[in-house]
Amino acid sequence: MSSRRFAATAKIGLAAFGAALAIAALGGTSSAQDKAKAAAAAAALPATGAPAASDPAQIDKGRDLFTNYGCGNCHTLGDAGATGHVGPALDGNANLSQDFIVNRVTNGQGMMPSFAGQMSQDEIATLAAYVVKVAQK
């Protein structure tokens, strides 16, 4: 497979994965299940960068991003040993979904800076999947 063709395939895989996450968050219909299946297949491809929240390596990567980008200076998240109080606590936060976190981290809001220029979309997706996974409910 040429690298260009691979890149295109990887992009489609990522898009499908994102769509499946969004649809899964809404509860899912039968066509959503087809998309989720396609996304699961895409996620199984190596090197797509798609976040697989159940993969321990992705959890570790998400925790590193959380720590390295200073999220913990402003937010509480027990899994990362973070006790910041500038922004809302992420533990026990009912707002948290993949899309919501991606949106806040990408665009910022109020006192929260945008991280779009510092992290890639893949990294932001990995970070968001990590927070969704580990935040106390």
Instruction: Give me the residues that bind ligand HEC (CB under 6 A), please.
Output: 69-71, 73-75, 86-88, 93, 95, 101, 104-105, 109-113, 115, 127, 131
**CA distances, 17 to each of 32, 57, 100 (Å):** 11, 18, 16
Q: Least distance in Å: CB of 94 to ligand HEC? A: 8
Q: Least distance in Å: CB of 44 to ligand HEC? A: 26
> Which is nearer to ligand HEC, 50 or 131 (by Cβ)?
131
Q: Least distance in Å: CB of 116 to ligand HEC? A: 11
Helix, strand, coil shares, percent, the chain, to 5? 60, 5, 35
- Token pair listed for 80: 């990362």
Q: Least distance in Å: CB of 18 to ligand HEC? A: 17
- Token pair listed for 94: 């009912």
Strand partners, 82: 77
> Which is nearer to ligand HEC, 47 or 86 (by Cβ)?
86
Which residue reads 């509480």 in tokens? 76
